[in-house]
Each structure stands twice: as structure tokens, then as C-alpha cells.
Amino acid sequence: MRKKISCIIICFVLLTVFALPSFAANQVNTINIQAVINQDGSMNITQNWEGSFEDGTEIYIPMNAPDYLTISELKVSDQNGSYKTVEDWDIDWSFKEKAQKCGIHNTDSGYEICFGISQYGQNHYTIEYKLDNVIGSYTDRDGVNFRFVNRGMNTTPTDVMLQIRLADGTPITDEIADIWGFGFIGKVEFENGSIVAKTDTKLSSDNHVTVMFAIDKGIISPSRQETGSFEEVKARAFEGSDYDSSENEDVSAFALIISVLIFIVLPIVLVVWISSVKKKRAVKKLISFSERFGYFREIPNEGNLSATYALGRLFNICNEGSILATGMLRLIQLGCLSALETQEVSFMGKTKETVSLRLMGQKHHLMNEYDEYLYTILERAAGSDAILQARELGRFANQNDKLLRAYIQKHDSAGKTYLNRKNCLKRWNTTVKLTDLTPNGEKELGELMGLKRYLEDFSLIAERGVKEIPIWRELLSYAMLFGIADQVAEQMKELYPEMSSELSDYSQSMVTAYSYQHLLYSNMIKAEQQRELERRSDGGGGFASFGGGGGSIGGGSGGGTR
């Protein structure tokens, strides 16, 4: 076993440190693959490669092809036009002889799709071909485990995007199909009636892009008939993957740890580090933006708490679960919840004080729709004694996470509706930037950040007015949303000593609301993650598995440039 582990480590070191640099000048930025499944189970594939090529004479794609996986209709083109398809491709031809030509080179394990680099520099290649008998008809379902991008390429792509769809336009959805991904860090999902796989990090020579999918009987009519079940294909592909940990019992713990550290943790750490650098830059820009607008002493965004939350989330000013804490604090403010101190004596005779929340009943004339919704959730969690206790609250959140998610989404949706109505954003991006704000959006964000800055510097501002006093509870609600409520409460005590007692009681309520919010949110996330893991293993899509994917057809190992 020690010899085996040593060999794994030595091989990795040799691969990474002494990797052959002969094609280092070649770079593939993107491979975009479109795969169209025909009614007979054949597949038309179009690959678009974009990159810089400065060495070698040709690009080649090895195919691990069983006898039934025949290829036809090969076409290649670049930015200058179409290539000539020739028979009996000779890998020893010169650069000039291969230019503007493509063909098939037969090998012991199948064949290679080959075409000339044709000219050095930035190039865009389109490779089209048809493969017969890709989808197999099994006793239970139709499907295939197919490798679209090879392991061991000497010129690996930075980004890969794959889309699989049916030729007749029938949408491929979770209701009729199951999907899994292997060999890369990224996701495979159902999107707009098709299967979409995307890589999140640059592929190394140890990566590959293999997608397995199964589809219900009757959707297509594959020519390739198999005697076994698709479950057998699935079981083989799951070996060594993280879809089914029970299959990995033969893998040594040490080797598994080494593999995880090298191939998963390190790339993720790099991504996190890059993200952290970008986040720090964004924070600096936000601080500069805030200083330009100065302090804001009123309730922001026309008093629309949902808008403040949605805008705060877009710019990472508040956490996702903070709206739950703010909602619970608001129920305390309305008198719908009240702190309840209890004492418990342990078997050692020690007394432990705990603070619970008692439901005091709904006050419909004061409550809005969000108050009503959250109170109803807490009512279900409390049970017949109308007292919220930590243990039962955590258990409830784990079993009813969808109710809590719906509450968060209600606020987020209402907030974004407000921002749309006020025309605050030029466009909606996954990551919104300051440059995406319209003048209206700058004003709304300026109010939000101005209030946060005002609350943070509450005790340092020289000018004082009495207008802060009547709205101090509301200010603390926003401080809770920004995650600085305890800090602001302490500053208020310093500024208004005559309110110290009332603020101390209120601080205890805030601490309780925050701790209960943490219980609700953390258990909600755990339940969602567990459901995602189960959905992922059942074929509902999600993160691909780095390991596994055995038994695939299509691509094999190697390829790139030579």
C-alpha cells in the first residue's frame, strides 16, 4: 500500500514539475460544444475552439470508439473558411500539407479527429461530425455515459461549455431525464429544455468532461439495443465518484486526502483567493462611494425594508439571513414576541439561565404581510406552549426550510420590484457593479450606505438632535439588517444615558432574536444542502464529481496539439 501511495505522489510531482513544455505556447481559451440527439440515438456534435496556436502542425481529438460508434459528416472550418476533408489522414504530413485539411486517423483504440492548425496565431475552429449509436436502449431507460473532453490533453481549455438537446425540440427536463457530471469542477444542470455543463476552473491534464444522462422510454428510439439495465452503467460510472460514497470503501484514506487536496482543494483555494481580492477592491469602491454621499440620517429607500435588503444583498452589504433577524426583532418591537427568562438546574446543581421567546399573539392592525407570515411560521415552531425554544426551533427549521426560504424570497422579490419600478439598475447581472447603477440607483444605494455609515459612527458625530430618539427602535432594526446592532446599541447607551435601562433590555431581546435567527437560518441551509446532495445523486443536476465516470464512450485520453 505504501508503494502504491508513493507512486501516486511521485507521478503527480513528475506530471506537474517536469511536464513537457513542447506545446506550452499553444493555448485553448474556450471549447463550446453543441450536441444534438437524433431520434435514432445518433448525435450531431459541433465543437467551437478558440485560442492561440504557435507550435505544432495539427490539432487532434482521440476517440475511444467501440465498433458501433461510427463517425461521418466530418467538417472543419476556421475564421478563413472551410477545410477539405481527406481520407487516410497522415500524422507525419508537414504543416503545409495539413493546412486547410481535416480527416480521420485510425488507432488501436478507435480513431482520432485531426485537422491542420493551418496558420499560427489567434484562431477559431469549428468541428462538426455525426456519431452513430451514441444513445443505448437499455431494459429500464435509454441513455449514455459520454466523454466530451478528454483527460490527458497536452493543451487544456480554460473554459468548457456543453449543451445537449433533442433534435425534435422536446425539452429535456428533470421530469423525463437524469444527469450526472464527472471529471471537472463545475456544474451540470437542466436549463431551458436542454442539459448544460459548465466548468468553473481551468482544466488540467487530469480533468475531463464526461456527462452521463438517462432518459425515459418512448422519448427517442435508439438503434443500439442493450441487454442490460442502465443502472449497471450508472453503477460503474459512480465508482470512485462522490455521488455514492459506499462505492469508495477500497480507496485508502491517505490517497483520498492527497487527491482531494491536490485536485479539488487547491483549485478552490485559488478561486476563493481571486474572489477575495476582487471583493476587497469592490469594498474599497463602496467605501469611496459612501464617503461621496456622506451620512444619511433618515430611514432609507422610502421606508421599504425589502428594498434596503435586496439592494444590500446585491452589493454584499448585508447577509442573506439578516432579514430573518430583522423580522424577529420587528415582532418584538410590535409586542408579538416577548423575551422569557427561565432557569434550569442541572444534575450537578448548577443553575443555567436561558432566554426564550414567548408568542404574545398577532396584532393585525400593526403587522404587515411579512410580519404575519413570519409569525405564522414561529407559531408552528413553538407548538402548544407558545414558547420558542432553541432545540425545537432548530428541528423545525430543518424540516420546514422551504417556509423560511419563501419568507426570504418574498422580501428579495418585493425589494427588486421596488428597484425596478424606480429604474435603479441599467441591467441585472449575477454580480452587480456600481457602474450598473442609474442616477436613481446611486441615490438609493447612497441612502442605504449613508445610514450604515451614520449608525457605525453614531457616537462620534458631534451634531446631535432630538429626532433620533423617537425612531431609535427603527434605527436598530436597520442596524440588525447590517449586522451592527450590538455596536449601535452600545453607542446609544453612551449617547443617551437616561435610556440605558431600556436599551439594555432591548439589547437582550436583540441578542435572543439574533441567536434564534442563526438557528433558523443555519438549519435551513443544512436542510437545503442535504436536499441538494440527494437531488444531485438522483440525477437532478448540480456539482459534477471530480472522480468517477468509468465506462464512458466517445472521447478517451490525450489530444490537443502535436
Q: How far apart are CA 202 and CA 195, in angstroms?
A: 21
Amino acid at 85: T
pLDDT bin (cut points 50, 70, 90) of residue 248 is very low
Residue 51: what pLDDT?
95
Q: What percent of the chain has pLDDT over 70?
A: 83
Q: Which of 52-56, 273-277, 350-354 is most confident? A: 52-56
For 387-406, how does the pLDDT look when each residue is reduced to its tens digit (9 = 90+)?
A: 888 888 888 898 999 999 99
Of 73-77, 262-266, 378-382, which range is least confident?
Answer: 262-266
For 72-92, how does the pLDDT look when each residue is reduced to its tens digit (9 = 90+)?
A: 999 999 999 999 999 989 999
Residue 286: what pLDDT?
76
Of 121, 141, 125, 147, the closest CA to residue 31 belongs to 125
Of 511, 473, 525, the closest CA to residue 357 belongs to 511
Residue 272: what pLDDT?
56
Residue 339: what pLDDT?
76
Identify the residue with better confidence: 474 or 134.
134
Of 203-207, 229-233, 430-434, 442-446, which range is least confident?
Answer: 430-434
Q: Is the pLDDT of residue 343 over 70?
A: no
Residue 105: what pLDDT?
95
Residue 270: what pLDDT?
54
For 188-215, how does the pLDDT look when each residue is reduced to its tens digit (9 = 90+)?
A: 999 999 999 999 999 999 999 999 999 9
Query: In the predicted model, what is the mean pLDDT of residues 444-458?
Result: 89
Q: How far is CA 533 from CA 73, 243, 494, 529, 538, in A?
A: 40, 8, 49, 6, 9
Question: What is the β-pairing status of strands 136-137 and 121-131?
Answer: unpaired
Q: Is the pLDDT of residue 63 over 70?
A: yes
Query: In the predicted model, what is the mean pLDDT of residues 529-540?
Result: 86
Q: How many angstroms from the chain centroid is the CA of residue 202?
A: 16
Query: In the predicted model, what is the mean pLDDT of residues 135-155?
Result: 96
Instruction: Tell me the average pLDDT of the chain.
Output: 85
DSSP secondary structure code for residue 134 in this structure: -
